[in-house]
Amino acid sequence: MVRLTTPALAALALLAPVTSSVSVPEKFLETLRTPRPFHAQTSPTRKRTCVAESHNDLKTDDAENILEAVKDCNDGGHVIFAAKQTYTISSPLDLTGLSSVDLDIQGTLSFPSDNLTYWQANSFDLQYQNATSFFILGGNDVNVYGSGTVQGNGQAWWDEYVNDKKLKRPVLFAIVGLEGGSVSDIRMRNSPFWHNIIANSSDVVYSGLDLFSTSNNGNFEKNTDGWDIYRSSRITIENSTITNGDDCVSFKPNSTQILVQNLRCNGTHGISVGSLGQYPSRTDYVLDILVRNISMANSSEGARIKVWPDAYSEKSQSLTGGGGGGLVRNVTYDGMFLDNVDYGLTITQCYGQDDEEECFKHPSKLNIMDVTFRNIRGRTNRVFSPIVGHLVCSSPQTCSGIVAENVDIRTVNGSNLVTCRNVDESTLGGLNCTDWSKGYNPA
């Protein structure tokens, strides 16, 4: 059922019965719909509109109402989540199998945190690194946009994680199996875990998003990555801002043909390839990545590649592994401004391992080839001073084609030392290399 709550929506009651798909003049419906973002114009024009009902009481589950509206407008429709309405989602929401539909979020979608035990048992298992999600969205030709907010109410999850490191915290916005679509111009707030995962998908654009997750106490907002790309191709992430407590963007296993551009990242762990090589039974690859025009402030890293060694390692109680094979090839970071970061550049094949010498004894099975750091400048803080970067491969055979061009990164004291081991220094564009190492950043 569609609930008519705002004055504009209430006017619909005079024109048609209250049903999931309201039949009213198209000109009137145009006044309710958010205009499509520019990159969604390749989708066919939607031919009908459904307004999802909200109880708007911050406690009653609206999941069934949402499913009903999406079902009614699937295959060519436009679903409106009305402005000034809060849609409480207290049960898992399966939005896969969609086709040619727009989801227009003008209000707030809120996932309450008053029953963490329920979500532990009922969230969707994403089959990677213990990741789960409140909902999954997939299909073909699906566009999500509007001026609204997706609220994860993450503080309770961050607080509980302090006591239970195996707590499965849901991803806030999960796209799984989407062929063609976009997510644009919405806000994401207080994600319990990663803000976004896109898995088993292709030809999707994220643009104009505002992501913000910070703790209001001493319990840190851990693992609140901006985007994690997994087993997906031809993905674009652009024109967005992120304040969080982990990677700004992470290219997980089998990410290919990815463009990331025009981002402002604050408080993050940088834009990272990996981690890769965690599971001995899997082959990971990340190919053809372009990252450009990035602002990186108050972060642990700038540009980073993180690979597990061929030895069992323990990053945390819930993150262990090592010994997996694969390949990183054709990755370019072009245009990055750094302000108050720990390391500006990082390559490590020792992720999860405290003893770097152990990694040299057990070189990674995952090779890194043809990586370019270009037009990167700015300053680091005192955390690893006087060193500004860490380019360390586990053997000369596991890395090749590492290039630096027009890189000027300095500490607040003016030093520009970069730890370089098992890489060809002749292609590093005059980086001030040293054997001295303070280790990779375990963040």
What does the block give as tokens for 240?
A: 């967005």
144, 105 Cβ separation under 8 angstroms: yes
197, 174 Cβ separation under 8 angstroms: yes
Catalytic residue among 78, 269, 362, 390: 269
Backbone angles phi, psi at 292, to 5 degrees: -145, 150
What does the block give as tokens for 211?
A: 């992501």
User: Rounded distance, CA 190 to CA 87, Å?
Assistant: 16
102, 36 Cβ separation under 8 angstroms: yes
β pairing state of 86-88 and 132-133: unpaired
The verdict on whether 94 is a catalytic residue reads: no
363-382: burial string, b at 16+ Cβ within 10 Å, e else: bbbbbbeebbbbebebbbbe
User: Rounded distance, CA 226 to CA 191, Å?
Assistant: 9
The verdict on whether 269 is a catalytic residue reads: yes
User: Minimal CA–CA distance to 111: which of 175, 157, 166, 159?
Assistant: 157
User: Rounded distance, CA 51 to CA 83, Å?
Assistant: 11
- Residue 57 has a CB neighbour count (10 Å cut-off) of 9
Catalytic residue among 102, 141, 246, 284: 246
User: Rounded distance, CA 223 to CA 247, Å?
Assistant: 8
Q: Which residues sit opposite 297 in a β-bridge?
A: 266, 339
Backbone angles phi, psi at 18, to 5 degrees: -80, 105
User: What's the angle, vertex CA 225, arms to CA 220 and CA 229, rounded to 5?
Assistant: 160
Task: Specify the DSSP element, H or E, that contains 189.
Answer: strand 187-189
User: What's the angle, vertex CA 183, arms to CA 234 and CA 92, rounded to 5?
Assistant: 110
What does the block give as tokens for 57?
A: 């009481």
Torsional class of 181: left (φ above 0), alpha (ψ -120 to 50), beta (otherwise): left
DSSP 164: -
User: Rounded distance, CA 268 to CA 259, Å?
Assistant: 19
Residue 266 corresponds to which amino acid?
N
325, 362 Cβ separation under 8 angstroms: no
User: Rounded distance, CA 122 to CA 133, Å?
Assistant: 9
Active-site positions read 246, 269
